[in-house]
C-alpha cells in the first residue's frame, strides 16, 4: 500500500465525496443557467440577443467543461483509493507528497512532475 496512512486516505476520501456532490450541484446549476437550454430564448432572433446568448453559452460551456474535468478527476481519485493505488504519481510512480494530496486530493502527479508538465 505504498505506506500510505489509512486514516489520511479516509479523510481524503470524505473530502473527495463532498467535492463530488458539490460539483454535481454546480453542474446542474450551470446547465439550468445556459440560455441555449431555455426553450423560450431559443425562439427569439432579435438583433443583439443572439450575441448575448452565444456569449453566455460559451461561458457556460467552458465552465461546464471545467466542472466535468473536476468530476472526472474526483472519480479517478476515488477509484484509485478503492484499488489501493491512490497517491502514486502517474508519471514517475513515486509517492505523491502527503501535504500536496491533502491540499489537492485529485492530484495525480507528484510536485516535481507537475512542475515539468505545467506550461
Ligand atoms: Zn512524479
Q: What is the pTM of this model?
A: 0.78
2-51 residue pLDDT tens: 556 678 889 999 999 999 999 999 999 998 888 877 665 555 556 667 78
In a domain, 105, yes or no: no
The band of 1, judged by pLDDT with boundaries at 50, 70 and 90, is: very low
119, three cell numbers: 506550461
In a domain, 90, yes or no: no
pLDDT mean across residues, the chain: 87
Q: How far apart are CA 63 and CA 67, in angstroms?
A: 6
| Per-residue confidence (pLDDT) for residue 64, from 0 to 100 | 95
In a domain, 46, yes or no: yes
| Ion ligand 1 — residues with CB < 5 Å | 89, 91-92, 110, 113
In a domain, 109, yes or no: no
72-116 residue pLDDT tens: 999 999 999 999 999 999 999 999 999 999 999 999 999 999 999
In a domain, 81, yes or no: yes
Instruction: Compute, in angstroms, the gap from residue 94 CA to the centroid of ligand 1.
Output: 6
Domain count, the chain: 1
What is the span of the domain harbouring residue 59?
6-85
Phi, psi of 95 (to 5 degrees): -70, 130
| Residue 39: how many other CB atoms lie within 10 Å | 7
In a domain, 62, yes or no: yes
Amino acid at each position: 500500500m505504498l505506506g500510505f496512512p489509512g486514516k489520511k486516505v479516509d479523510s481524503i476520501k470524505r473530502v473527495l465525496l463532498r467535492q463530488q456532490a458539490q460539483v454535481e450541484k454546480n453542474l446542474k446549476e450551470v446547465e439550468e443557467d445556459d440560455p441555449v437550454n431555455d426553450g423560450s430564448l431559443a425562439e427569439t432572433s432579435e438583433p443583439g440577443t443572439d450575441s448575448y446568448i452565444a456569449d453566455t453559452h460559451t461561458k457556460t460551456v467552458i465552465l461546464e467543461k471545467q466542472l466535468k474535468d473536476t468530476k472526472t478527476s474526483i472519480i479517478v481519485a476515488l477509484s484509485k483509493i478503492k484499488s489501493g493505488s491512490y497517491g502514486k504519481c502517474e508519471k514517475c510512480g513515486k509517492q505523491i507528497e502527503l501535504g500536496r494530496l491533502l491540499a489537492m486530493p485529485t492530484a495525480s502527479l507528484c510536485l516535481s512532475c507537475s512542475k515539468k508538465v505545467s506550461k
